[in-house]
Chain A
Amino acid sequence: MSTFLEVKNLHVSFPTEDGAVLASNDVSYSVALGETLAIVGESGSGKSVANLAVMGLHNPQRTKISGSAILHLPEGPIDVLSAPNETVRRLRGKAMSMIFQDPMSALHPFYTIGDQIAEAWALYNEGSKADGIKRAVEMLDLVGIPDASKRVHEYPHQFSGGMRQRVMIAMALVNNPSLLIADEPTTALDVTVQSQILRLLADLQKEFNMAVILITHDLGVVAEVADRVSVMYSGRVVESAPIDEIFYNTTHPYTRGLLNSIPRVDNNGIGTRLKAIPGQPPSLISVPKGCAFEARCEFASHVSGGLCHAVNPDLVEKAPSHFGRCHLTGQQVIEIANQNNGVK
């Protein structure tokens, strides 16, 4: 698989009256064609902000961005963070495309579904309006909207939440993008519709050899579709590894906390207590100089000399292809966790 997007040392901050909000703090990640990278992490940890920067969708007047985001296009690599606006605009929709967190606000209420898809198609294709609508019907069919040739003329409010989400997917895919960034594409949906949509994305990914970035807080969904996972906390990537490594060889205390806090339908957790992570993440305005997870970390006491409080750990390779940002080694974290759980 060849790497398609490579984000390196991305910093994004928003100047506000109270100070600059550092929403992306030295973030790096990459995704290859045909691969699915899941980005997970606490609400407000910077998942959407980083990917909106890649798409070139932040307001340049109100945002400070540095770092690089290289797209490896067939005609050669291009850094979307330093490329002129006009160039980035021409990449959106075809080289890279995004499904936004809120489907209702991303669809225009006064235009028909068909017109909106046709308009996205017309950006990259020569053809009449009728050709565009024909393509829209094809796409609606593809994403499983029944009776597509009739419903293409309807308005967003006539579609259910699940159907609107599928329309968003149809629109994002109408020009066969190389990279699809899907931001919480199934959060508003119930499980049966969710699994239809995830299945659909997986099929389309195979068919078009797309690179997919899936942003979600549902670790069940991650387990179902991801090849690799990046875990974010407080504006930084704290762990990044192939899917099985993240679940079965978890080396970061925050990722552990996240995995431990979910109830599961398959383990009969009835009547037991959920293991919540106590407390809240720190402010993104006055970023602590040490590890951002320190105030909530039950492993910090195992690190000597107040190191967690004083020094922010680097993201280092803990095992082959497995990166973590913690002063403890992966082995130490696992041993401490086992001791705490009374496992031999």
Chain B
Amino acid sequence: MAENILELQNLKKHFPTTSGGLFNRQKGVVKAVDGVSLSIGVGETVGLVGESGCGKTTAGRTVMKLYEPTEGKILFQGEDITNYSRHQMMPFRSQMQMIFQDPFASLNPRHTVGTIVGASYDIHGIKPAGGVENAVRDLLERVGLNPEHINRFPHEFSGGQRQRIGIARAIALKPKLIVADEPVSALDVSIQAQVVNLLDDLQQEFGLSYLFVAHDLSVVQHISDRVVVMYLGKVMESAPTQSLFSSPRHPYTKALLSAVPIPDPKIERARERILLQGDLPSPVNPPAGCVFNTRCWKAQDTCRTVVPEPVQIAPNHILACHYPEPAK
């Protein structure tokens, strides 16, 4: 994987806040994404994990330029698209697509599946050989839906089927990169497996790259080549999947992994857990020093004052911690 499809350099997305709730009216900024660097190779899947509210969706939407980045760079196939206008982005739109977190909210209930999936062609003025309708039927078949159902409306499909409609729409223009935001978390396990397999197949067939956002670590492990762990807008650790899961070096990664329930009662009974105290701190007013220090059992004075810089500790393995766990 010599070539990178996507590269983020110190990407930031801050939202201004007008009022921080009833008792806290001062203005501030939400540092939703605060200096994220990562790269995705051609045909590679990079998993993005972390606690609810740590900035995963914001990062994904900023990559798609649905949000204007506050700082940093976005390179798509080596081209700096950070400051491209809507117009300049047009040729890229067909090459990067997003599967949205909520399959229910992201499909227009008044449009048929045919209209929803076919819309991409019209927007980009692309005329597929054989016509739009045939192309849509093909797509429906690809994602395991019955092409006969092309005139049905979203509410006539189950949750798993609706997620497939979103996938059909995302692959219509044969993109090179798909940002998949929690594509399976709303689904129960048997349907989840159907969708994960489909994403695998599409990657094999079209050489797709994925940025795969999820909080279910077992799914992320299954699908990703590399995993990036975020906490409060920052990258704590990123590494090839195998090494991250077998030897996590960042305390937060370690806590996260130790908390994943394993569907085997005997293993569960014997397991030791690292229980983190408290909740994610507010991104309006993040802790000084290491952002994880308020919940880290290893925190020392340095951690409360000095920000640990991300360093490369092995090929493709980046870590931001003053007192990392020993390598296994």
Contact = CB atoms under 8 A, between A and B. Distances in A.
A262 B273 contact: no
A192 B190 contact: no
Contacts of B242: 268, 270
Nearest first, the 3 A-B pairs at minimum CB distance are: A220-B261, A276-B193, A263-B222
Interface string A232-276: 000000000001100100000000011101111110111011111
A243 B263 CA distance: 11
Interface in A192-208: 192-196, 198-199
Interface stretch (B60-68, B173-181, B213-221, B297-305): B213-221
A270 B188 contact: no
B261 A270 contact: no
Nearest to A263: B222
B52 A189 contact: yes
B221 A275 contact: no
B159 interface: yes
B259 A191 contact: yes
Contacts of B275: 195-196, 199
B188 A224 contact: no
Nearest to A220: B261
A314 interface: no
A257 B190 contact: yes
B262 A264 contact: yes
Given A223-B268, A269-B221, A270-B222, A275 B261 contact: no
Contact of B279 (A160, A195, A262, A269): A160
A158 interface: yes
Given A191-B256, A270-B222, A270-B242, A161 B262 contact: no
A276 B194 contact: yes
A265 B218 contact: yes
6 contacts: A160-B279, A192-B259, A195-B275, A247-B265, A269-B221, A273-B200
A332 interface: no
A247 B264 contact: yes
A217 interface: yes
Interface in A216-233: 217-224, 226
A168 B189 CA distance: 26
Contact of A263 (B51, B218, B255, B256): B218
A320 interface: no
A299 interface: no
A277 interface: yes
Given A192-B255, A244-B266, A265-B262, 7 more contacts: A193-B52, A257-B190, A264-B218, A265-B257, A269-B222, A274-B196, A276-B190
Interface in A275-310: 275-278, 280
Nearest to A198: B261
Contact of A222 (B23, B263, B277): B263
Given A265-B257, A265-B260, A158 B193 contact: no
Given A191-B256, A247-B265, A265-B260, A277 B52 contact: no
A144 B196 CA distance: 36
B158 interface: yes
A191 B277 CA distance: 13
Contacts of B187: 43
B105 interface: no
A29 interface: no
B326 interface: no
Given A42-B190, A193-B279, A196-B276, A259 B263 contact: yes
Contacts of B50: 190
Contacts of A243: 265
A335 interface: no
A273 B197 contact: yes
A258 B260 CA distance: 18
Contacts of A195: 259, 261, 273, 275
Contact of B261 (A188, A223, A257, A273): A223
Contact of B193 (A192, A223, A224, A261): A261
Interface string B237-257: 000011001000000000111
A265 B197 contact: no
A158 B188 CA distance: 30
Contacts of A192: 51, 255-256, 259, 276
A272 B280 CA distance: 34
B267 interface: yes
A211 interface: no
B91 interface: no
A189 B53 CA distance: 10
A239 B190 CA distance: 17
Given A161-B52, A264-B218, A275 B265 contact: no
Contact of B197 (A154, A162, A194, A276): A276
A263 B241 contact: no
A43 B188 contact: yes
Contacts of A278: 194
Contacts of B277: 144
B120 interface: no
B263 A219 contact: yes
A233 B38 CA distance: 43
Contact of B221 (A193, A218, A258, A265): A265
